[in-house]
Amino acid sequence: MTATSQTTHPDAPQAAGDVVLEIRDIAKSFGPVVALKRMNLTVRRGRVHTLLGENGAGKSTLMKILAGVFTPTAGNIVLKGSAYTPRNPRDARAHGISIVFQELSLCRNLSVAENIFASHEPSRFGFIRDRELNAAAERLIRELGLPVDVRAKVGDLSIAQRQLVEIAKGLSLPADVIILDEPTSSLSDSEAEILFTIVERLKGQGKAVIYISHRMEEIMRLSDDITVMRDGEYVTTTEKSETSIDKLITLMVGRAMNDIYPPREAPRPSPNTPPVLATKQLTLAGKFRDVSIDVKPGEVVGLFGLVGSGRSDVMKALFGMYAPHGEILLDGRPVAFASSAQAIRAGIAFVTENRKEEGLVLPHSVERNINMVALGQLSAPLGLMRGAAERKAARAEVKRLAIKTASIDTRAGSLSGGNQQKIVLAKWLRIKPRVLILDEPTRGVDVGAKFEIYCIIRELAANGTAILMVSSELPEVLGLSDRVVVMHDKSIAAVLEADGLTPETVMTHAAGINA
């Protein structure tokens, strides 16, 4: 399937015996909403085929059709030379298709081993054989090189560790086609390297890997073939060697993007400007120690560290989710938040990295989620809601952040991960926070939506909002921050000015090499 131009069609000649999966003219509608229109895809053994498109392009819908979650409205699928019409996910697995979803599907109260082998546990006479279960999980974890204890409860793991467990779960049964939907969205660089090694091993075993990611650098590193989708339709298929990041972005968003990081519009605060938020020797046993940072109005401070460095726990402490020792100062005055509600009343907003469990109420509408924190601003006398004002406010945020939804009455859980992330951001923008804490603000968000979020961050900073941002994407930290606080082993390793700062310098401190 060599692409000779940007109009290559998936029906291009294939090497005999290479094709394992063919998707022909697949369409899918949900009532009046058309999610897919005549989508085509041809996947070969021993290759990584990346599916690229903005949030709402239909990528996840197509993968759920392959996984037996959805039934297509039209079109057909051929798997290993035979018609493929999975009745459900179990049937898809039996046919050799395995999928690792972007949104985690783990049970928090079960162990890592129990989650990995859920629905196919080793058993006898209806009883699970725990010793065999743990031994099988340990073999798989060891084979994959994952730093996870199989006996640990999933609820006690970090988001990144849960993502690794989700990957192990997807690889726990033999498969011909492995679908990885945003597998590195919550992984650090070191953990992503583990995944890349796994992908190369799968290729060597002759497996076909369908890869979905918004991280352009890893797409260009891993991919053999790349198919671009836009608005539910097939755009083109090309080999990696015959394209570039700029070309792919233009194909994906339908426009050129000259600079993904918008320039700072307002001058940086002067050295004498007092901080809005500061901490002094903030410590929480087992989480972090002696953390002293400050954020001035109109400043973006990036907080970077490898997973386990304590960065997200610091954010939670600032938002009243933990009770640390040390001092938290707001406008120079000590504060002690006994709850997140108190932090919100003080003007602090927190965009969590775990939107599914902590950022949204998935069964509720887009409108209700956007207005959830700001309901007090919209209530009439006697506590009655001003319905018209609530709907107007929600529509304004949907337009501002370009949230792709059929209506503001749509259930938030039915939207793509990237659009869900925009709803979380919109929810906090409604209260016009003085301090905005961003924990992985663009996790699972496509390059076009990232640019929109970056513009919002720049706009907020220009208007005087103090912003503290955690991100696992080092280019994002360097591209947006005025200063970078680097954490290692649960404490601050360095505070660096962002101008002229290189990724190598930051990673050296994050890895503790200068310790």
Regarding whether 438 and 428 lie in a shared domain, the answer is no
What is the per-residue pLDDT for 12?
Answer: 41
- If you average pLDDT over residues 125-136, what whole number do you get? 76
> Does a structural domain hold residue 223?
yes
pLDDT in tens, 213-257: 877 888 899 999 999 998 888 999 999 999 988 888 788 766 555
pLDDT of residue 58: 86
* pLDDT number for residue 275: 95
Query: Is 267 a member of any domain?
Result: no
Q: Are 48 and 32 in contact (CB under 8 A)?
A: no
Rounded mean pLDDT of 378-390? 62
How many percent of the chain have pLDDT more than 70?
90
Do 134 and 154 fall within a single domain? yes
Residues 8, 88 within the same domain: yes
The C-alpha atoms of residue 426 and residue 370 are separated, in whole angstroms, by 6
User: Is the same domain home to 219 and 234?
Assistant: yes
pLDDT tens, residue by residue, 355-382: 877 888 889 999 999 998 876 655 555 5
326 and 386 part of one domain = no
Residues 126 and 207 in one domain: no
Residues 162 and 183 in one domain: no
In a domain, 353, yes or no: no
pLDDT of residue 9: 43
Whether 118 is covered by a domain: the verdict is: yes
The domain boundary, picked from 173, 202, 230, lies at: 173
Residue with tokens 């972090």: 288
315 within domain boundaries = yes
Residue 205 vs residues 78, 199, 460: alpha-carbon distances, Å:
21, 10, 49
- 14: domain CATH number is 3.40.50.300
Query: How far is residue 189 from each of residues 277, 450, 488, measured CA to CA in Å?
Result: 29, 19, 14
The reply to whether 308 and 443 lie within a common domain is: yes
Most confident listed range (350-354, 461-465, 469-473): 461-465
Would strands 288-291 and 277-284 be described as parallel, antiparallel, or unpaired? Answer: antiparallel
DSSP state letters, 425-467: HHHHHTT--SEEEEESTTTT--HHHHHHHHHHHHHHHHTT-EE
Longest dimension (CA), the chain: 73
Per-residue pLDDT at 385 exceeds 70: no
Judge whether residue 281 has pLDDT over 80. yes
pLDDT for position 17: 44
Domain final position from 151, 173, 195: 173
Is pLDDT above 80 for 63? yes
Domain that holds residue 124: 106-173
What is the reported pLDDT for 16? 36
The answer as to whether 264 is a domain residue is no
Domain termination residue (choose one: 140, 173, 206): 173
**Mean pLDDT within 456-463:** 91
Q: Which of 57-71, 98-112, 399-413 has the lowest mean pLDDT?
A: 98-112
pLDDT at 386: 64
Q: Are residue 212 and residue 161 in the same domain, yes or no?
A: no
Regarding predicted confidence, which is higher, 469 or 156?
Answer: 469
Taking the alpha carbons at both ends of the chain, their separation in whole angstroms is: 50
| 8 Å CB contact between 305 and 315 | no
In a domain, 504, yes or no: yes
Tell me, yes or no, whether 58 lies in a domain: yes
pLDDT band, very low/low/confident/very high, at 383 (cuts 50, 70, 90): low
**How high is the pLDDT of residue 418?**
76
Same-domain check for residues 466 and 336: yes
pLDDT at residue number 403: 87
132 in the same domain as 28? no
**pLDDT classification of 335: cutoffs 50, 70, 90:** very high
Q: Does the pLDDT of residue 154 top 50, yes or no?
A: yes
Structurally, the chain folds into a number of domains equal to 4
pLDDT of residue 288: 94
Average pLDDT, the chain: 85
Evaluate if residue 3 carries a pLDDT over 80: no
pLDDT digits (tens, 9 = 90+) for 169-215: 888 888 899 999 888 877 777 788 888 999 998 999 899 999 998 77
Q: Please state, in angstroms and rounded to a whole number, the distance separating the CA atoms of residues 65 and 83.
A: 14
Residue 151 and residue 288 share a domain = no
Q: What is the mean pLDDT of residues 63-86?
A: 93
Query: What is the pTM assigned to this prediction?
Result: 0.63
**Model pLDDT for residues 75-119, shown as the tens digit of each residue:** 999 999 999 999 998 899 999 999 887 667 788 888 888 888 877
CA distances, 416 to each of 101, 183, 216, 405, 422 (Å)? 12, 15, 19, 9, 10
- Give the pLDDT score at 445: 74
Tokens describing residue 166 = 């989700």
* pLDDT score of 4: 33
Percent of the chain with pLDDT over 90: 41
